[in-house]
Amino acid sequence: MGGTRQLNLQSFILTPNELSTALAKNVPTKISTAPRIIPLCAAWFLPNDPQGRTGQRVFEEKRIPTARFFDLDAVKDHASPYPHMLPSAETFAKAMQDIGIRKDDEVVVYDTQELGIFSAPRVAWTLQVFGHPGVHLLNNFRLWVEQGYPTESGKFEAVVEEPSHYPTPTLDAARVVAFSEMKEIASDHGKEGSEGVQVLDARSKGRWAGTDPEPRPGLPSGHIPGSISVPVSELLDPHTGALLPGEELRRLFESKGVDPERPIVSSCGTGVTAAVVDAALGEAGFGQPEARRLYDGSWTEWAQRVSEADGLIRKKV
């Protein structure tokens, strides 16, 4: 069999019907080397989840047939003191090899039925910054289940028949904001002649304002100077947990005073739900893709490396 690409997934955001139709038209065989459509489960729960749920457990209980599992807690920079910093290119490539994904596969990342859109955008963004060419986001697995599309269960180890050969990629550093640049952006906020970078914060309004505590002990709440509160809950349908339609998202960003002509950096607690904001900006057609970036360390790094005393942690009075 040849490696001719016959797939037809045009948009980044896919509905359950679009994914189901594509999977039905592209059934892989063991002898084929043609590009495949691979559902990729990005299930992740907070460490203090009250029900003790884990991503791997819910993946094994219910998943899209042929799906693989991407473990956010495993595929990261383990040398960093911050929870979800991007892994090295070698670590990323090894993870893709271990779950049997090839470079020419079209990957459709999805979340849990329980939480709706949450961690899948972070995994999709990770694949994109490491240059994977075919990346999509399912909107969403809860709707997939509710609309009666098939699911399967079984152990994680049974999914991957054999490792893939995935070449070591190059990180697209232009899409990632490091602490030093973030500090410069915050310090320049409001100064005449500054670039006017907008920082969108996905945490809850209370955490952004400094009136609610952070979930991590000892970490102060508040916000980066000049940042705009865009709680991730406002980007999602309250019943389905799916991203709102593009036009609704556009109106929401406009109502918060976000300027599509200026650069945008998304941030959150640990860099996970910042990617939901980034995905929402893309779905809304808001801002140029090359002018949208993500602050990898987000609030967990920021609040440990700056202080209120130096004016870099603000609270809403």
pLDDT in tens, 182-193: 999 999 887 765
272 — pLDDT class (breaks 50, 70, 90):
very high
Q: What confidence score (pLDDT) does residue 20 get?
A: 96
Report how far residue 194's alpha carbon sits from residue 188's, in angstroms, rounded to the nearest whole number. Answer: 6
The answer to whether residue 260 scores a pLDDT higher than 90 is: yes
Closest CA to 63 of 140, 154, 160: 154
Residue of 32 and 56 predicted with greater confidence: 56
The answer to whether residue 60 scores a pLDDT higher than 80 is: yes
pLDDT tens track for 205-253 = 999 999 999 988 899 999 999 999 999 999 999 999 999 999 999 999 9
Report how far residue 295's alpha carbon sits from residue 186's, in angstroms, rounded to the nearest whole number. Answer: 12
- The alpha carbon of 131 is separated from its chain's Cα centroid by a whole number of angstroms, namely 15
Q: How many CB atoms lie within 10 A of CB 110?
A: 29
Structure tokens at 174: 């232009």
- β-partners of residue 176 are 294
pLDDT tens track for 61-70 = 999 999 999 9
Question: Most confidently modeled of 33-37, 232-236, 308-312?
Answer: 232-236
Q: How many CB atoms lie within 10 A of CB 39?
A: 20
Do 106 and 5 form a contact (C-beta atoms < 8 A)? no
pLDDT tens track for 132-153 = 999 999 999 999 999 999 999 9
Do 208 and 201 form a contact (C-beta atoms < 8 A)? yes
Q: What confidence score (pLDDT) does residue 247 get?
A: 97
pLDDT tens track for 71-98 = 999 999 999 999 999 999 999 999 999 9
Residue of 303 and 5 predicted with greater confidence: 303
Positive or negative CA dihedral for 88, 89, 95, 98?
Answer: negative
| Active-site amino acid positions | 268
Is residue 198 classed as helix, strand or coil in its secondary structure? strand
Residue of 111 and 188 predicted with greater confidence: 111
The answer to whether residue 51 scores a pLDDT higher than 80 is: yes
Q: What confidence score (pLDDT) does residue 109 get?
A: 98
**CA-to-CA dists, residue 98 to 91, 95, 108, 152, angstroms:** 11, 5, 17, 21
The answer to whether residue 100 scores a pLDDT higher than 70 is: yes
Sequence-distant (6+) residues with CB within 8 A of 144 are 16, 19, 20, 64, 110, 138, 151
13 — pLDDT class (breaks 50, 70, 90):
very high
Q: What confidence score (pLDDT) does residue 5 get?
A: 45
Q: What confidence score (pLDDT) does residue 3 get?
A: 44
Average pLDDT over residues 38-61: 93
Report how far residue 270's alpha carbon sits from residue 303's, in angstroms, rounded to the nearest whole number. Answer: 11
Q: What confidence score (pLDDT) does residue 192 get?
A: 62
46 — pLDDT class (breaks 50, 70, 90):
confident
306 — pLDDT class (breaks 50, 70, 90):
very high
Cis peptide bond N-terminal to 140, omega within 30: yes
Q: pLDDT averaged over the chain?
A: 93
pTM of the model: 0.94
Q: What confidence score (pLDDT) does residue 8 get?
A: 67
